[in-house]
A and B are shown apart, each in its own frame.
Chain A
Amino acid sequence: MALFKKILIANRGEIAIRITRACRELGIGSVAVFSDADRDSLHVFLADEAYHIGPSPSKESYLNYKKIIEVAKQAGVDAIHPGYGFLSENTVFAKALEEAGITFIGPTVSNIESMGDKLSAKALMKKAGVPTVPGSDGGVETVEQAQAIAEKIGLPVIIKASAGGGGKGMRVVRKMDELESAFRACRSEGQNYFADPTVYIEKFINDPKHIEIQVFGDQHGNHVHLFERECSVQRRHQKIIEECPSPSVPNDVRLRMGDAAVRAAKQINYVGAGTIEFIFDNTTKEFYFMEMNTRLQVEHPITEIVTGFDLVKEQINVAAGRPLSFKQEDIKQKGHAIEARICAEDPITYKPHPGVIRACRHPQGPFMRVDSYAYPGYEVPIFYDPMIAKVITWGDKRDEAIDRMQRALSEFVLTGIKTNIVLHKTILDHPKFRDGSYTTQFIEKNFEVIEPQLFKEVEDPVFLIAAAITAYNDRKSKDVRQLNLTSNWKRVGRKLQLRT
């Protein structure tokens, strides 16, 4: 079966570049799309063809699936890769592609549908024998119901909006008298953010880690896992550092998690790249199914580095109807990989910091990879995610991978906008990160007083001297400019006058 001739990448930034690279290596043509704000984005420069798809807000461009399909037809592509985010888990889009006769490089519509709703996903997983967190069997309608469930499974519990994500619509309840207000708040957040007030209740794990298993399936009923990634370093419920393998998962548990993930994928006859997310109790070493991401993920490179397989190429392979190019017994974890997400944000407040990148020099060197769309002069727009680069390092042992990341980050020059590189460097040196005992609460518990830790490396005089000399030069050049603005006759006249 032939692979595709030309693929449209319905995404932007580093992931669009990543997919373009896979296409080029496979001899497939690549088509980029871009919004108004992204005309200067690197993904546009690197693709074979590029088409404008609308104004800057993603609703009017990257989420405008009709426009994207129109461009796909115009460019004559035979497949679309959605990357992550935007349309990657959108069934309306996937269905529309089916009708247009264009292959969606991703799971089937029914795969996305069955995993899109957290409650039905949980029920399916129970059926497949995958451990799930004790809690309500479905949506909880009333406060009384919520109280009864909390009493049954014991406090603390967490109330979550069914359609929620990214930390929105979630409340932890540690005392019974907090339950009612938390329940109402979650329902109203669910309604406001996701137009769905359904909430469910789960036991709250005190010492939780976020461990996920990369799975892959093809259209011939083959399913494999490519081991785990630990993604517990999060701020604002968003991952910033991931590693593979997890320093906390014992080998027998690792294998059990992998088996459970493959069972989950088989249960829904999953096709393509997907991730089964588990919440892992670091005290008991028990794991429970949380949700499935039916797409490629930001952190896929660490799995690629440790297993040696190109996941994007494999997605294209499987979407073209070919069988998986590897079997479970071919997949081994070799060494250790770490990924740091470099974001345009203030490292103290975590607030985004868009703007023009002035200087940019990516780190280089052995056993590392940089997936980035940052370059000098590029203006990071306000409309999209603040992540602008990913640094991935490999080491034979975990410590080596961490040291290599420290080295890489100290080489990374990125100025003009604030970035979280300095936060990464601080995290990597933290004893709790070094010994691997960190949990998902690592940042909020350990980085309360963040500023002094972040800025310890450079002494104040260095900054002051640089600013003072620049200010001096600025004042001087202004004076020169002002002199030049007047005519030479005036200048000479003034000089003569001053002499007398």
Chain B
Amino acid sequence: MYFEAELNGKKYKVDVTEQRSTWKVSLQEEGKNWLHYDISKRDFKEAEQYISFLFEGKSYLIDVIGQDTEYTVFTRNSFRTIKVFNDEMLLHESLKKGGNFGADQELKSGMPGKIIEIFAKEGEIVKANKPLLIMEAMKMENEMRATRDVKIKEIKVKQGDSVESGAVLIKFEEP
């Protein structure tokens, strides 16, 4: 099965073939050569919730969380979020995005929390790196800033609101 993946801003082509006793995984980082890995299924075991994975003589306990197009892989107390697309997913994603601007046009909450203060006003132009709002989660106040110059189209929350992860907080338009 062919995938395209993205990790830390780098793009990869990935090909996975399942054989009776082996996984054949080929990776190609953009602009580099293909690398081929054969992983014996004996070296890839499910244990409790995670996978025990032997790779080039090293042992990893791996937990992969996620579905569809985004996976977070945990191992050795490190983690990476990886976007994985196959042809069908790529098509689906492009349909979902539709317009020109996509997710950049919104400020979304990365975690559940409570809105403490909102600095921005509708119609106002906010310069890059200026604070938009403060959200509290787990006793910490987190300032959320504009990543670029934006015009505030709509503020979807008010002070004191509790929001879920992924909730749209502010909609932008081009200044």
Query: Which of B1, B77, B138 sits near A422, CB closer than 8 Å?
Result: B77
Between A376, A410, A418, the greatest number of chain B beta carbons within 10 A of the residue's beta carbon is seen for: A418
Contact code string B33-48 (vs A, CB < 8 Å = 1, else 0): 0010101000010001
A358 to B49, CA, bound (A): 7
Q: Which of A25-33, A195-203, A457-465 contacts B (4 or more CB under 8 A)?
A: A457-465
A412 to B51, CA, bound (A): 15
By a CB distance below 8 angstroms, the chain B residues around A358 are 49-50, 63, 65
Q: Which of B53-61, B90-98, B123-131, B167-175 contacts A (4 or more CB under 8 A)?
A: B53-61
Q: Check: A262 CB closer than 8 A to any chain B CB.
A: no
By a CB distance below 8 angstroms, the chain B residues around A351 are 110-111, 137, 140, 142
By a CB distance below 8 angstroms, the chain A residues around B10 are 460
State whether A466 and B37 are in contact (beta carbons under 8 Å apart), knowing that A382-B111, A474-B67 are contacts in the complex. Answer: no
The reply to whether A465 and B25 form a contact with Cβ atoms under 8 Å apart is yes
Q: Kindly report which residue of chain A lies nearest to residue B48, judged by CB atoms.
A: A359
Q: Which of A41-49, A114-122, A327-335, A383-391 contacts B (4 or more CB under 8 A)?
A: A383-391
Interface size on B, residues (CB 8 A): 52
By a CB distance below 8 angstroms, the chain B residues around A463 are 7, 73, 75, 80, 82
The reply to whether A468 and B5 form a contact with Cβ atoms under 8 Å apart is yes
Q: Kindly report which residue of chain B lies nearest to residue A413, judged by CB atoms.
A: B61
Contact code string A331-354 (vs B, CB < 8 Å = 1, else 0): 000000000000011000011111
Q: Check: A425 CB closer than 8 A to any chain B CB.
A: yes
By a CB distance below 8 angstroms, the chain B residues around A163 are none
- In angstroms, how far is the closest chain B Cβ from the Cβ of A458? 5
Q: Check: A475 CB closer than 8 A to any chain B CB.
A: yes
- In angstroms, how far is the closest chain A Cβ from the Cβ of B97? 20
By a CB distance below 8 angstroms, the chain A residues around B7 are 460, 463-464
By a CB distance below 8 angstroms, the chain B residues around A462 are 53, 55, 60, 62, 75
The reply to whether B77 and A383 form a contact with Cβ atoms under 8 Å apart is no
Q: Check: A454 CB closer than 8 A to any chain B CB.
A: yes
A467 to B18, CA, bound (A): 14
- In angstroms, how far is the closest chain B Cβ from the Cβ of A169? 12
By a CB distance below 8 angstroms, the chain B residues around A422 are 77-79
By a CB distance below 8 angstroms, the chain A residues around B51 are 466
State whether A359 and B63 are in contact (beta carbons under 8 Å apart), knowing that A352-B137, A415-B49, A464-B12 are contacts in the complex. Answer: yes
Q: Check: B14 CB closer than 8 A to any chain A CB.
A: yes
The reply to whether A386 and B139 form a contact with Cβ atoms under 8 Å apart is yes
Q: Check: A8 CB closer than 8 A to any chain B CB.
A: no
State whether A471 and B63 are in contact (beta carbons under 8 Å apart), knowing that A382-B113, A419-B77 are contacts in the complex. Answer: no
State whether A410 and B77 are in contact (beta carbons under 8 Å apart), knowing that A351-B110, A351-B140, A354-B137 are contacts in the complex. Answer: yes
The reply to whether B76 and A384 form a contact with Cβ atoms under 8 Å apart is no
By a CB distance below 8 angstroms, the chain A residues around B82 are 463-464, 467
By a CB distance below 8 angstroms, the chain B residues around A344 are 138
A457 to B84, CA, bound (A): 23
The reply to whether A466 and B78 form a contact with Cβ atoms under 8 Å apart is no
Q: Kindly report which residue of chain B lies nearest to residue A377, judged by CB atoms.
A: B49
The reply to whether B5 and A464 form a contact with Cβ atoms under 8 Å apart is yes
Question: Which 7 pairs, one residue from A and one from B, show the smallest C-beta to C-beta distance?
Answer: A352-B138, A415-B63, A415-B74, A421-B77, A470-B64, A386-B138, A359-B49
Interface residues of chain A, those whose CB is within 8 Å of chain B, are: 236, 344-345, 350-354, 358-359, 376, 382-386, 409-410, 412-416, 418-419, 421-422, 425, 454-455, 457-458, 460-472, 474-475
Interface residues of chain B, those whose CB is within 8 Å of chain A, are: 1, 3, 5, 7-8, 10, 12, 14, 16, 18, 23, 25, 27, 35, 37, 39, 44, 48-51, 53, 55, 60-65, 67-68, 71, 73-80, 82, 84, 86, 110-113, 137-140, 142
